[in-house]
Amino acid sequence: MKPKIKNKRWSKEFEEPIRRAWKRKRVFEFNHKTRRPVFSIDTPPPYVDAPVHIGQAVTYTIMDFIARFKRMRGFDVLFPLGLDRNGLPIEMAVEKKFSVSIQDTPREKFIALCKKLLEQSSLESLDSFYKLGHSYTSWKHGEEIGELYYTDSDSYRKTTQETFIDLWKSGMIYQAKRISNYCPGCRTTIADAEIEYKNLSSDFVHVKWKVRETGESITIATTRPELICTCGMVIYNPKDERYRHLKGKHAVLPIYEKEVPIMPHPSAKIETGSGLAMMCSFGDYTDIRFFREMKLKPIVAINQDGTMNEHAGFLEGMSVDDARKKMIEILRSQDLIEKEQKVMHRTPVCERSRNPIEFVSISEYYLKQLNMKKNIVRVSNRIKFFSKRSKQILLDWIDTLSMDWAVSRRRYYATEIPLWYCKKCGETIVPPKGKYYQPWKEKPPVKKCPKCGGKDFMGEERVFDTWFDSSISPLYVLGYGRKNGFFKKSVPCSLRPQGKEIVRTWLYYTLLRSYQLTKKPIFENIWIHYHVLDEKGNKMSKSLGNVIDPLDVVKRFGAEPFRIWCALEGNITLSDLRCSYERIEGASKFLTKLWNIARFVSTFRAKKTKPPLLETDKWILKEINRIAKETSECYENFDFHRPVSDLKHFIWETFASHYLELVKSRAYNQDKKFTKTEQVAAIHTLNEVLEKILLLLAPIIPFITHKLYKDIFGKIVEEQKFPKPDRKYTGKRTGFKTKELMELSSRIWKAKKDKGLSLKAPIRKATIPKKFRKIEKDLIETHNIQHLEYGDKLKIRL
């Protein structure tokens, strides 16, 4: 008999026709009218126009494992992909590409340029995901449930605005003038969650001051000499004996000649600089807290745009950096500097543009969150987290929140805040839901002010923080506001998969926003993953030259080696993965082995009816059913590493090296030493085990299993149910352990090999333990035993 599988090996060329067929036949399309249970995945929308990096390739592939597994479990899987097209990165790309600046470009024109850039933007990310065999519900952009969504579409922005209108009406939004984090690079306020700390080198300038009452000279060291004008007090540590005599006296600001009190305070560190510190408005967090505590009136010297204002006197109009340089220059020229040194300073920086954060006083809209802390912890406790350790990141973050969330921003390409104001009395006009609004260029939805009857209005010009948009993604994908019937039926969303670096932002904000709108946990499961590093454990970066491009991986090896590698390499739920081309290539051996085994098994055609089985057959079926049970349990918990590693071991060792060897002669039955029924039993079992293996692996390696399953069993693997363990076998005892049987054969083979004999060489007499009696016929044939006896231990005479 010839094998049904003609090709000698798996080739990456087999992948494309399968991919095309999936797409053409819309195999994974979602029908929102489905009667089956829905499993919904709130996939993170990757940023448009950015090539997919290896970390995304790995984690979205694991999301695809989940989607494919759940389909085989009988769910209708809602697995939409979105593209994030809002916000700063687009604006920055526009400024660069068209050489314009947002400040000098009219809004209308600037937005047109954003749209132009987005039209030309590549869909490279989609191409990578397509090549990797991902089974998103649609590749087409649209507003239907399951279609590819854009975060800047009118439909998405409308939903964001509707959630805002709801929050506004329930009193969750307020406007306040407060000190906010301000990034001079992004030219907007940013949230605490977007701040990172970096050790930056800065100039520590020791400046000479005077004490008014005594005329003595004191030295105060600072990294922010440009903020001397905002100094409200000079302090020393109460334990610092050098300055006790200065208590209650006054220090005179250099250049500005203003006086401020000198007081003892524990925030001053004896060992830092001279031990004296000038307390400025908004130099850093400590200063902010200090001013609040001492009830000092802050002097704001930095404008919203990051330039110095009139309080800074001669520095007015300069950027903070220029002002600092200028100040040092002036101090030097007046001989007011004692010394200058370089120090490393732990500095808050913007996580996007890396600019040091400034603190400015600015009016913004706030979303209440401090009154929600307990509720968010409570809903989090009703969600299953994978892993528990990652949940702690969320809880710790909630614990540290100390301010409400400033949600307004001064940018252009983002969702507009849907509000108008009466020019006469200042009344705020909130539009009805149902439309996407652009108040900066549209008329309000009312003709007259309901309060004063005024007819002139001003549209709000600010937009939302992009997290205000992205934090409604599960609501959007489940049809909130668009398909309310489906939304009610499908909430909570089954799964949020995401990286641990955005727990404080995306995850927290989503839980907050959904809770405020629905009063429920929005997710059933949250899966949080670690990162992908290079083989030495370093972060991949262009400058290190260790970047692995997923498209290059696919070009070299195809999708399948990469996919199986994702499962075999480790469990990214618990720790980082290390990646290299060699490791991925190494994983492709698994495919070769699987192909060879399947090809061999495909030589033997199974009959439809099930024959009575021999003990050897029952043993291997017990094994594969045990593995099926374990696999299914692990997949349910988003663990793909352990079961696939165990499957690999089963395929190579238990199935190929032992069971196949034990039943080969029975399956061929060339010398007619077995009955027809016995032969059929072996053939049946070989096929049954192979079929189970293919089904268990189908979510992981969908291409090769698709082809093998179709060629051998004539059916479509994506349409099959995930194998359930068969109790008929799992409960049964075989009389011997798998390990014992494998050891028995291995020792016999080794004995022959040691004597330089072939594995088929005859054994004149063998003594084997009694527990193997039930499989003696297979053992005799496999090992060519001419005389068999039973005893306690294995003994063979060659």
Which residues of this protein are in contact with Zn ion, per CB under 5 A? Answer: 183, 185-186, 350, 352-353, 422, 424-425, 427, 449, 451-452, 454
Nearer to Zn ion by Cβ, of 425 and 759: the residue is 425
Q: Please, are residues 60 and 132 in contact by the beta-carbon 8 Å criterion?
A: yes
The rounded distance, in Å, linking the Cα atoms of 336 and 313 is: 18
Nearer to Zn ion by Cβ, of 349 and 681: the residue is 349
Nearer to Zn ion by Cβ, of 462 and 752: the residue is 462
Nearer to Zn ion by Cβ, of 219 and 353: the residue is 353
Nearer to Zn ion by Cβ, of 468 and 530: the residue is 468
The rounded distance, in Å, linking the Cα atoms of 326 and 152 is: 43
Residue 108, Cβ neighbours under 10 Å: how many?
11
Q: Alpha carbon 91 to chain centroid distance? A: 24
Q: Which of 80, 56, 59, 68 is nearest to 529 (CA)?
A: 59
By CB neighbour count within 10 A (0-12 exposed, 13-18 middle, 19+ buried), where does 756 fall? exposed
Nearer to Zn ion by Cβ, of 467 and 523: the residue is 467
Nearer to Zn ion by Cβ, of 454 and 586: the residue is 454
Pairing of strands 384-386, 358-367: unpaired
The angle at the Cα of 537, spanning 534 to 538, to the nearest 5 degrees, equals: 70
Cis peptide leading into 643, omega within 30 of 0? Answer: no
Q: Which two tokens stand for residue 239?
A: 């334990």
656 Rama sector, left if φ>0, alpha if ψ -120 to 50, beta otherwise: alpha
Q: How far is the CB of 452 from Zn ion (least distance, A)?
A: 3
CA atoms within 13 A on the CB side of 759: 11
Nearer to Zn ion by Cβ, of 91 and 778: the residue is 91
Nearer to Zn ion by Cβ, of 142 and 450: the residue is 450
DSSP 725: P
Nearer to Zn ion by Cβ, of 137 and 181: the residue is 181
Q: At what angle do helices 702-713 and 559-569 cross, to 10 degrees?
A: 110
Q: Which two tokens stand for residue 712?
A: 């051998």
Q: What is the largest CA-CA distance in the chain?
A: 117
Nearer to Zn ion by Cβ, of 107 and 352: the residue is 352
Q: How far is the CB of 426 from Zn ion (least distance, A)?
A: 7
Nearer to Zn ion by Cβ, of 194 and 226: the residue is 194
Nearer to Zn ion by Cβ, of 370 and 452: the residue is 452
Q: Cα–Cα distances in Å, from 241 out to 216, 245, 389?
A: 16, 8, 47
Cα separation of the two ends of the chain: 33
CA atoms within 13 A on the CB side of 754: 7
CA atoms within 13 A on the CB side of 50: 15
Q: How far is the CB of 468 from Zn ion (least distance, A)?
A: 17
The rounded distance, in Å, linking the Cα atoms of 347 and 364 is: 24
262 Rama sector, left if φ>0, alpha if ψ -120 to 50, beta otherwise: beta
The rounded distance, in Å, linking the Cα atoms of 247 and 261 is: 8
Nearer to Zn ion by Cβ, of 422 and 472: the residue is 422
Element housing 82 (H / E) = strand 82-83
Q: How far is the CB of 351 from Zn ion (least distance, A)?
A: 8
The rounded distance, in Å, linking the Cα atoms of 193 and 22 is: 40
Q: Cα–Cα distances in Å, from 417 out to 340, 407, 569, 588?
A: 47, 9, 46, 52
Q: Which long-range contacts (CB under 8 A, 24 or more apart) does 26-29 make?
A: 27/135, 27/718, 28/67, 28/71, 28/77, 28/79, 28/135, 28/136, 28/137, 29/137, 29/138, 29/146
Nearer to Zn ion by Cβ, of 312 and 350: the residue is 350
Which residues, in sequence order, are CB contacts of 625 under 8 Å at separation 6+?
692, 725, 726, 729, 730
Nearer to Zn ion by Cβ, of 26 and 451: the residue is 451
Q: How far is the CB of 183 from Zn ion (least distance, A)?
A: 3
Nearer to Zn ion by Cβ, of 186 and 205: the residue is 186
Q: Please, are residues 372 and 513 in contact by the beta-carbon 8 Å criterion?
A: no
Q: How far is the CB of 185 from Zn ion (least distance, A)?
A: 4
Element housing 17 (H / E) = helix 15-24
Nearer to Zn ion by Cβ, of 347 and 353: the residue is 353
The rounded distance, in Å, linking the Cα atoms of 525 and 505 is: 18
The rounded distance, in Å, linking the Cα atoms of 146 and 142 is: 9
Q: How far is the CB of 89 from Zn ion (least distance, A)?
A: 11
Alpha helix locations (H) across 142-284? 154-169
Q: How far is the CB of 69 from Zn ion (least distance, A)?
A: 40
Beta-strand runs (E) in 265-404: 276-280, 337-350, 358-367, 384-386
The rounded distance, in Å, linking the Cα atoms of 413 and 108 is: 10
